[in-house]
Amino acid sequence: MKPLPYKPKKTSEEEILYLNTLYEQIVRIRKFHTQHWILKDIKQEFKVTCLNKWDPHSVNISDIAKVGKNYITLAESDKGPQIIEHNNSIAVQFIIDERYPETIKLLCNFITKMSEEIKVFCLIL
């Protein structure tokens, strides 16, 4: 069985998230990955629209880890991993939508980071 993810207790000043539609999910950033570059300026919990037809398993198998084909779960919801990192790729299990500003911020963080890496690579050449 998978242990329950860490959920910080809400204070009275914090915004409590409610799901408005059947397709919304509340995504929680894993405590260990709060400082990851893709999650810069992102709230600890945020809503997304989730129309997925399948869900990845949230447990990495040790044999796969030896080969290097596993992924790191950066954020998850009750359905499983929602933001993962694998090598130099970031994958999300939700739609980037302007109605959900945190998803736009994730995309901007990715574009900024990759643009910086391309500039560094071009300078080396």
d(CA 111, CA 107): 6
Residue 120 lies in a domain: yes
- pLDDT value of position 42: 92
Domain containing 50 equals 24-124
Residue 6 lies in a domain: no
Residue 62 lies in a domain: yes
Residue 47 lies in a domain: yes
Instruction: For 69-96, write each residue's pLDDT tens digit.
Output: 678 889 988 888 899 998 888 999 998 9
Is pLDDT above 90 for 109? yes
Burial class (CB in 10 A: 0-12, 13-18, 19+), 15: exposed
Residue 11 lies in a domain: no
pTM of the predicted model as reported, rounded to 2 decimal places:
0.75
Residue 66 lies in a domain: yes
Residue 13 lies in a domain: no
Q: Which of 39, 56, 14, 52 has its CA nearest to residue 113?
A: 39
- pLDDT value of position 118: 87
Query: Domains in the chain: how many in total?
Result: 1
Residue 48 lies in a domain: yes
Q: Which of 16-30, 48-62, 101-115 has the lowest mean pLDDT?
A: 48-62
